[in-house]
Amino acid sequence: MIIKIIGLTGDFSDTMEVDENMTISRFKVKIQNTYCVEARVINIQYGENLLENEDKTFKEYGISSNDTIVIVKKLFTKKHVEGCIYNKNQKNYIQTEWFQCKTCLPFNSSLGCCSECAKVCHKGHELERRYGQFYCDCGCYGHNFITCTNQTFDENSTYLLQPLFFCKDCFPSNQEATYGCCYQCSVQCHHGHNVKSIGSFEKLCKCENKLNKNKCLCKNALNEKSIRLENENENEKENEADNN
């Protein structure tokens, strides 16, 4: 069967022929027919039905021809974090303390980070402490998982298909076509807001939060603009009164 795959971080889109009886653990993605990367299917249809049991097949998960699946993959550009347990142990499981980051992956995900990455890469995020057999997914994915997709494009880029989300708390409902944001910003900038998936599009993220911190600067920016205009109006009135 033929399925469409898109990167959760907006890094690629493609169609693939897969065997419906293939298990999720055997699923690999080839990018541009030259580079095969390790991939993990995390959800179907933008956030629903998180795939945790990788021993199940596509058929058992109800994935059929022409369905779209979203995956997270190992990134091309890697960063280095001194002290990350992945540097030494790679994918070898060890008994250790680790953290599940609810900010980066608010789903009930098995992905996690070691204590060093919790301090460096996930500082200020919502973390839940865990203990058990673990290797650091943050290190595995290059310490680069949550980055606004808008920061990866320049004016000469060809936009790639990516899941987009809309924050009902920050913008009027009739502006979905204008203010869609990438997954990364939906879970960081709009954490705790009324966010919904609006599908996949070849568009840039329109979140106004350039720093990509765990708070919504879109709404703050709009409020600051209103306050600034009010202050300017007040100053104009005061100047007019002084002149009179």
Instruction: Please state whether the predicted TM-score (pTM) of the whole model is above 0.75.
Output: no
Task: Cite the beta strand spans of 1-90 per DSSP E.
Answer: 2-7, 13-17, 28-31, 35-44, 68-73
Same domain, 49 and 100: no
Does some domain include residue 234?
A: no
Q: Are residues 128 and 93 in the same domain?
A: yes
CB 166 within 8 A of CB 180: yes
Task: Report d(CA 235, CA 52) in Å as an integer.
Answer: 58
Residues 155 and 205 in one domain: yes
**Looking at the structure, do residues 68 and 97 belong to the same domain, yes or no?**
no
Averaged over 61-85, what is the pLDDT?
68
Q: What is the CATH number of the domain that holds 30?
A: 3.10.20
Look at the block and give the residue holding tokens 């992945």: 86
For residue 182, pLDDT beyond 90? no
Confidence of residue 48 (pLDDT cuts 50, 70, 90): very low
Strand partners, 43: 70
Predicted confidence (pLDDT) at residue 230 exceeds the cutoff of 60: no
Q: Cβ atoms within 10 A of the Cβ of 114, count?
A: 27
CA 11 to chain centre: 11
Split into its structural domains, the chain has a count of 3
Closest CA to 13 of 64, 85, 62, 69: 69
CA separation for the pair 74, 39 (Å, rounded): 7
DSSP conformational letter for 83: T
Task: Please determine, for residue 103, whether its predicted confidence score (pLDDT) is greater than 50.
Answer: yes
Identify the domain containing residue 44 by its residue range: 2-73
Q: What pLDDT score does 198 carry? A: 78
Is 124 in the same domain as 176?
A: no
**Residue 37: pLDDT above 80?**
no
Residue 118 lies inside a defined structural domain of this protein: yes
Same domain flag for 14 and 50 = yes
